[in-house]
Amino acid sequence: MNEIDAYISNFPADVQEKLTAIRKIIREIAPQAEERICMRMPTYDLNGKWLVHFAGFAKHIGFYPQPEGVIAFQDKLSGYKTTKGAIQFPLNKPLPFDLIREIVQFRVNEQANKKPADSEPRAVIVPDELTSALKDEGEAAAFWESLSDGYKRGYCDWVGGAKQKTTREVRAGKALVMLKNKQKTLKTWLINPENY
196 pLDDT more than 50: no
Q: Quick one: 38 and 94 in the same domain?
A: yes
Could you tell me whether strands 60-64 and 49-56 are parallel, antiparallel, or unpaired per DSSP bridges? antiparallel
CB 29 within 8 A of CB 105: yes
Residue 117 domain-assigned (yes or no): no
**Where does a domain end: 112, 136, 154?**
112
pTM listed for this prediction: 0.59
Could you tell me whether strands 34-38 and 49-56 are parallel, antiparallel, or unpaired per DSSP bridges? unpaired
| pLDDT at residue 115, rounded to an integer | 55
Q: Quick one: 76 and 143 in the same domain?
A: no
Q: Quick one: 33 and 101 in the same domain?
A: yes
**Average pLDDT across the chain, whole number:** 86
Residue 15 domain-assigned (yes or no): yes
Q: Quick one: 136 and 43 in the same domain?
A: no
**Where does a domain end: 82, 112, 142?**
112
Q: Quick one: 85 and 181 in the same domain?
A: no
pLDDT in tens, 94-152: 999 999 999 999 999 988 876 555 555 567 888 899 899 888 888 888 888 888 887 78
Q: Quick one: 107 and 137 in the same domain?
A: no
Residue 58 domain-assigned (yes or no): yes
Residue 169 structural domain:
128-195
- Residue 117, CB half-sphere, CA atoms under 13 Å: how many? 7
Per the structure, the count of domains in the chain is 2
